[in-house]
Structure 1
């Protein structure tokens, strides 16, 4: 197996994990939606947990973040297919393997990422 195969396997694994997270979040949102439709829409604090509005907001935030991360994985898979995976989109330098192991969907080297943030 070459580096490309290992990268592809890692990206596909991350995609599966993220799809599982998205499914779980969607199921939790469905549960909150069902509770809210039952006339229990609250903004009162539930002593056993967060108010429904807070829980809804938290879950929606998680959902949006997961969708963003999935899009980043898809972009990285496209880069891999086109031979540009591991190349910084800003400066064209190689992204170190260690960085790709930690952030497999990254498209910037450390220097360019530091300047952007």
Structure 2
């Protein structure tokens, strides 16, 4: 990858990282608010036939936060590959990952045919 292409990819990865960090901050605030609200409430939502329980909603939020953390790790790894010159190369077969795949998933480590 030439210097211009690397600069464009770096900008894309860093922008995606900013977006993921902003999402993480929002989700953490939501989790804090949910915990605080449930601490102040003595509601028994386990028997509410109208919707999801607080525990279910909190589990969904926690799972989303875990996924956001995984995205951060993947983006950090992509930036490291960019630094060492291996970004955009399939880790399975060594062939270049198509630009369209990197556009859709900048942290991709394989092209579609080698993806698990």
Alignment match, 2:6 = 4
Count the aligned residue pairs.
113
Query: In the TM superposition, what is the alpha-carbon distance from 1:35 to its structure 2 partner?
Result: 1.4
Deviation for aligned residue 1:50: 3.8
Aligned residue for 1:100?
Answer: 102
1:1-117 matched pairs, under 5 angstroms: 2-40=4-42, 42-45=45-48, 47=50, 50-113=52-115, 116=116
TM-score by length of 1: 0.89
TM-score of the pair, normalised by structure 2: 0.89
Note the aligned Cα RMSD (angstroms): 1.7
Q: 1:32, 1:45 → 2: CA distance?
A: 17
Please identify runs of 4+ aligned residues in structure 1 that moved more than 6 A: none
What secondary structure sits across from 2:46 in the alignment? coil
